[in-house]
Structures are given as structure tokens and as C-alpha cells.
Structure 1
């Protein structure tokens, strides 16, 4: 009887998909490596909350690793490490491989923008002796989640004379923070009877920034005047300078370990900085790759990838064309022979809300990096849907390198769906598939990822670009 059970067990392991928690598989050595890697990731998350800061962080790291800024026409050879800064909001890092460039590149593409509140062009106003900022939310958010949490202000202000001023208020322990107010339960009877999506409207996402009037001035607008006076003394700006600014309100939370076992990380912006950081580190540490490596950290994914820093722009295509020409080929030939991991997150199964997921095709915390063959919604609209051949190649690559991985979809067929940058790269005639980290509470001000899954994403990008 025991022999029969053992035979059945072996047959199941051979023939059936085995869903295993990664912690049942990894060694003590890998366990420690995972935790150590994630300390660096938490530092990145605290220093790079917006896309501009992520670009600055990335370029500083790349320079330390020997990368130099690329200029069109620069002579290139195998082993050269280059980067291109696109308007301070996206960056491409590349290492020239030993194989001819016409053999294609190994491309990793992640985005470094996250849902947030953007200040309007004329944001500052006063109402009943309170000063506030008007905002326009960026990306898909649940508006009610952004009330009554501490907010920091990040970004840049370009003054009338062209001077650029970086802003970062709310991250230092001695900084003030800001917040969006909400109704007390005692007066919220009507509000709480509304559908959840309408409990807070976009125009109610006003950020409280001050209440002290200017000196002894009792005229209307004195609180607003006091605020702009503070900003003028600190930054030398006037109210008109808000028109040429990009100021983003983001949660003032720090990245912290989650759980008694410290197995997870809570932070703002895991989507998609968890994939951006892992791909960046894998690229920065890569030595003598066979194929040319191109890793892009892009902007604007959360709003559809439009604009000259998003991947619907031609800047990636132009970069490939430039390095192809420098190496005696052409962009079209290189792209057609290339492969891409579209590095973006997927939704982790949440046992508190099981009804929105189909369990056999959901991603799970601690089950490794997620390979997502297709995204899209309602009939796979908006997806590139990777071919069986390329999916099989990625599957073999993961298995042969002992990468803990899983598959996943973004909810039930008629429940969820979403997009990544995969379609825009696939449209360039590049074999492309999504690969990333499962996230709990995605698009919330405080998201959660597993340390093990994060480390497996890094290892996946590492073996892909070295293959």
C-alpha cells in the first residue's frame, strides 16, 4: 500500500502542476541573500518615490558601475556600458554584447511612475481661512484611500527665468507633511450611503497646507499670502511659477518590513518600482553579456504610456536604431531579432477578497516571480499575448536556472484586467512577455510585496540578460 502511494505521489509530481511556497524550496544561503537584497530595495523605495528621483538614483548607480552617458554617433564595442537620460523622467541602460547586434538585444522594460496626486497648474487657494492645493489624480486610484494619510510633496519648479528647483518636503523627520481631509463619521451619513467610488470625488482631493494668516493682516486671502511668502523665502518663487512646475503629492510612508517574520515589504510605489529596481540591479551587475542588454525604466505607464517619456513614444526605437548604426546594423533588423521581458507586477491572491480571482490562474505571495502570458481585459483587449514558443523559451530559462516562478492573471475574466508596456514593445516586432512581482493592495498608497518574490524577479532578469 505504501509503495502504491509513493508511486502515485511521483506520478503527480511528474504530471501535475505543483504549486509550492518558495520558502519550502530555497536554501538558507538564498534566504539570507534574499533578505540582504531587499535592504537595498527598501533604500531605493525611500529615495525614489517619483520618476525623476528614480532616474537620478539609477544614473548615480550606473555611473558607479562604469556606465557613461551615450551620445549619438559615439563609437561602440563589446563590453561598453552606456546610458541615455530622457528628459530626466526615463532612462535606458545598455551593455554592448559580444554577439553581433543583428542577433538582437535582451530588453527589460519597467516603469517608474506610480499613482499619485498631481498639483493643478493653479493649485493654491484659500477657503474659510485654510490654505489648500487643488489636485488632479494620476493613474488608477481608490480616491478614499488618499484621505487622512500623511503626504509628501516631490517634484520640480521651473521659474520664469528658467531656473529649476527640486522640491522634496515631507520625507525628513523634521519636515511638515500634508493631507487630504475627510468627514467625521457623525456627519457622514449621506457620504457613507454613496457607492464607494463616489464617497470622495476628484475635486475633493484637496491638500491642506496651512492655516496661519499673514502677520496681522485680517483681509481675505491672508493665509494664502502667508503660504506663498514662505515658499518665496525658501525657493524664491511666486504663485505664477506653479504653472511651470511638476509637483506630486505622494504618501510620506517609509518602506518597512511587514509581519512578525519580516517576510514582506510595505511601501508606496511597488507598482512598478519593484520591477524597475530588480531589472536595474541585474543590468548594473551584468558582466560581458553575449547579447546586447537594454534595460529601460520608463514614465507614463499609469496613464497609458503616452508622451515623449512614455513607451508609446519613439525614444526606445531611436535608441536601438542609434546603437545598431554604431555597430554596423539597423534598428529594424535588431528589433525583429530581440526578446523582451516587460517587467511589470501582477495582482497577488488576497484571501480577504477571494471572489475576484480564479484560483488556478492567480499569483500567490512567496510563490516566486510571475510570468504573465497576456494582460488586457474583456476579451484580452489591449494585450500582446506572448506566443507559445516564446512562453516556452522563458519557461525553460526559468526552470534551468532554478528560478521560482508562477503564472497569473489579473482577476477573473469579467472582473479584472489591465495593461502594461508589453504591447508597445511587441508592436515593434519584438518577442515580449510580462514578468514581475505579485503585489497585495496594488495601487493603494501602501502596497505589499514578498521579499522572496522580489529576489526571484532579480534572479529572473539576471539569467535573462545573461542568456
Structure 2
């Protein structure tokens, strides 16, 4: 089915709203380059709209009622927010679920070393990346360092104009004849993704012996101590993420696209959050959950496999009607969800990887994937036909541009989302998101039109499903 390019349908007032959403989205991308930073952004925005922390409501022994906004945070890496509806919670929720972790490079726990008077941080990449894409590009360090005295130091180096940036080096082309013969997966090996962070040796002083080795490393450590008050031992209790340095930018001479790091899946996360923040009254309780660890299997305490979301729903049930395990189970099973995750945009430069009739295209609107997985739908949630029909009805009623797609050719590969995890509760779930070019690259590209239609679609879902 051919879908119209949605740019052709916009009126001036639509374009104004599109640009407003795009500006807000780019600001969120710049401020939220890690899952911790995304949670911080989300919490600030929620509180500005009057949402209150769940643990404080419990501590104050308050009750919840329709229209209340409430949120809970898990380990500063995941957040679940709710707008309480007029219908009983056990009749189900309308849930928007996205992930806020993105492929990157992590710093190891014993990382700092010197090699031939160059200082490096040893690293371990996170999620599915093409390793060769991360060399010779300006990189920044974001994260936290936790001290044994209870302090948590925020690290944020490489984003301001006056900041230094960092790099992973590559072999010069003049000497790369053997390297160029390797498979793309082996051109840059994981252990060669170490971050170059210094080259200046510490000068002689009364506390340094002339025969002292590793003076570049020593100078780096002295700067870390002076600037951040952290020592080499503190790396053990640190979470430092290496991400591309630079802001989200308009892309194209027509400014119709956005190029930025981490749009998988923050393009869906922030538009889902925008949708929740823009509704005041709902029939069914509306929920936006932003989780960590999807890129490595949704595992751990902050991933979708954890009991965090289920526990929060149990607490909400207790505050609304009293403790009831049965009503918690009913609330989960009777819910409907959009697993808000990105889809692969058709790229004519690599058309051979796509089946055109089943591909997502730029400026054709919000993408629905009945199933994801790989090859024979392995690891996929497969949405029911009746649910798809209801989705179509709601999107059409709200004049949301949308399309249905698969992730490339059947045998080309594949990918997964959090959809199948939430489907385990017996709720209706479908994958729904924005088409992305260069997915999992340091810089990804989306269409502003699709970002706008995603926001409209998510808002329609939580209002009328």
C-alpha cells in the first residue's frame, strides 16, 4: 500500500507545531545522552507538569485519584510515569514503552594505562555497533563516579565548545594494505577501541623521581584529582560512557531531518513522554515507561525483564483500591501497549537489504511492526489482527499518518524490542516507532515529519484506546 508523503498535507499551523516538537526533541537529545541523563530530563519535565514521586506519596500515606500524575524511578536508569484515569486500574492501562539506552562504548573498571607516552582508557563496547564507525570521530565522556564516602561525581566532558574531546585512533591508509583486506567486522577489533585521552607527561617536581615511569598517566590522574576529586581507585565504582561529541542538528538543506546520536530509541522515548505530558484527563490510566538495557537483552534490575514495572503497578493498586494481587494481574492483562521502538528506514543506497513493499519510508508517518524478531519471527511478539484493526481506527480518527513495515528482508537479519516481554502479561502489544537511517551508527537520521507523527500517534493512543 502506497502512503502519501506527509509533508504534502501540512498546513502552516502544522509546520509550526512540527518545528516546536522538533526543537524540544533536539534539546532532550542534547541533554540526555545516557540513560541516567534521560531519566534526569524526564523527571524534571514530569515535575514541571505536576507529577509527584510515588515513594513520597506512599510515605505521606496519601491516596490517588483520577487526574493525578505520579512517577517512579529505578536506580536512576529507568522511569515509569502515570496519569491516573477515571476508569478502575484493573480495567487496564494504555502504555507507551520505550528504551533509553543506546549503543556506545563503556569504560572498563581498571581502565587507565600508558603506552609509549600516550594515555588511554580501556573500553568495552555496549550493544550492537559497527566498530569501525567509532574511530577518528570526536567523542565525549558522560557518567558518574561513586566514591566510598558516598559522593557521586557527575562527569560530562566533550560537549561544551571549550571542552577537550577524545578519540579512538585508526591506522593511516598508507600502511593499511592488510587491514583493508579484513572483513568489516574485524577491521577494528573490540580491544582496539581504547580511548586516547592524553599525551603530556608530568613535569619533574620534588614529589616525582626522575626515573618515574608512566608520567603521562600520572599527569592525567593529577588532572582528574584536581578537577573532579577522583582517584584511580574510583574507576572501580564508576559508570562512564563514551558517546559522540556534539549536538543534535538539522539535516538537509531543507532542514527536514534530524541527525543526532542515540535516536534509537530516544526518538520514541521523548515523543512518548511529550504525549503523556500533554494529556490532563484520561479514561484509562496512561503510562509512559522508559527503560534501560534493551540493547543487551533488557536484562538486569533496570531492564524490562525486571519486576520494577510490575511492582510499581502493585503500589498504584494499593493506593487506589487497597492491596490486591488479583487486581494487579487484571490491570496488567487488560492493558494495551505500544512498544515504542524504531524501525529501519528504506535506504535506496542499500536497497538490496530491503523488501520494498514491506519497508518503512521517511515522511510516511508512524511505523507499526506487527512482528519483529529475525528470520522465522524468532524472538518476536506477533500482534493480533483485532488489535491492529483497533490501532488503525484510532490513528485514522486522529488523522495520524502511519505505515506498516518489517525490518528488512526476511533472511537479512533482524532485531528485537521489549514487546514480547510485556506480552507475557497477556496484554495486547505492538511495536510502533519512527523510521531511522543509519541505525546504531554514532550519528542517526530521522525525518522531522515522522517525529511529529509519532508524537501525534502516541497521544491519540493514550487518549482513545
**TM-score normalised over the length of structure 2:** 0.96
Match of 2:236 in 1: 243
Q: CA deviation at 1:74?
A: 4.2
User: For 1:188-235, what per-residue CA distance to the aligned partner results, in whole angstroms no more than 9, with x for missing partners?
Assistant: 010000011100000000100000011135532111010011001111
SS in 1 for 2:374: coil
1:359 CA drift (Å): 0.3
1:295 and 1:41 map into 2 onto residues whose CA distance is 16
Matched, 1:271 2:264: yes
| Structure 2 residue aligned with 1:103 | 91
- Which whole-Å CA distance do the structure 2 matches of 1:421 and 1:440 have between them? 21
Identify which of 416, 420, 426 aligns with 1:419: 416
In structure 2, the partner of 1:311 is 304
34, 42, 46: which is aligned to 1:62? 46
1:324 is aligned to 317
Tell whether 2:138 aligns with 1:141.
Answer: no
Structure 1 residue corresponding to 2:282, chosen from 283, 289, 293: 289
Cα offsets for 1:55-74 (capped at 9, x unmatched):
11110111010001012464
1:228 correspondence with 2:221: yes
Matched, 1:38 2:52: no
Q: What is the match of residue 141 of structure 2?
A: 153
Indicate whether 1:25 and 2:18 are aligned: no
Q: How far did residue 254 of structure 1 move?
A: 1.0
From 347, 372, 375, the counterpart of 2:372 = 375
When structure 1 is superposed on structure 2, of 111-120 and 212-221 the one drifting more is: 212-221
Separation in structure 1 between the aligned mates of residue 86 and residue 284 of structure 2, nearest angstrom: 6
1:249-291 deviation digits (Å, cap 9, x = unpaired) = 0000210000010000000000000001100011111111111
The question of whether the paired residues in 2 share the 8 Å contact of 1:322 and 1:331 is answered with: no
Unaligned runs of 5+ residues in structure 1 are 1-16
Residue number in structure 2 paired with 1:385: 382
Q: Count the aligned residue pairs.
A: 451
Corresponding residue for residue 47 of structure 1: 31
Aligned 8 A contact 1:170 1:252 in 2? yes
| Partner of residue 343 from structure 2, selected from 332, 343, 346 | 346
The whole-number CA distance in structure 2 between the counterparts of 1:36 and 1:80 is: 26
Any gaps of 5 or more consecutive residues in structure 2? 205-209
Q: Distance in 1 between matches of 2:432 and 2:21?
A: 19
Asked if 1:91 is matched to 2:75, the reply is: no
Counterpart mapping for 1:450-465 below 5 A = 450-465=447-462
**Distance in 2 separating the partners of 1:388 and 1:67:** 35
Partner Cα separation in structure 2 for residue 26 and residue 414 of structure 1: 37
Q: Contact 1:153–1:249 at 8 Å: present in 2 too?
A: yes
Q: Match of 2:432, SS? A: strand
What corresponds to 2:156 in structure 1?
A: 168
Q: Which residue of 1 aligns with 2:393?
A: 396
- 1:356 matched to which residue of 2? 353
1:187 aligns with 2:175: yes
Q: CA deviation at 1:37?
A: 1.1
Give the Cα–Cα distance (whole angstroms) in 2 for the partners of residues 300 and 54 of structure 1: 13
Q: Scaled by the length of structure 1, what TM-score is found? A: 0.95
Instruction: Report the Cα distance in structure 2 between the residues aligned to 1:235 and 1:397, rounded to whole angstroms.
Output: 52
SS in 2 for 1:443: coil
Correspondence for 2:207: none
Once residues 68 and 395 of structure 2 are traced to their aligned partners in structure 1, the CA distance between those partners, rounded to angstroms, is 27
- Structure 1 contact 375–417 (Cα < 8 Å) conserved: yes
1:122 partner SS:
strand
Which residue number in structure 1 is paired with residue 403 of structure 2? Answer: 406
**What is the RMSD computed on CA atoms of the aligned residues?**
1.0
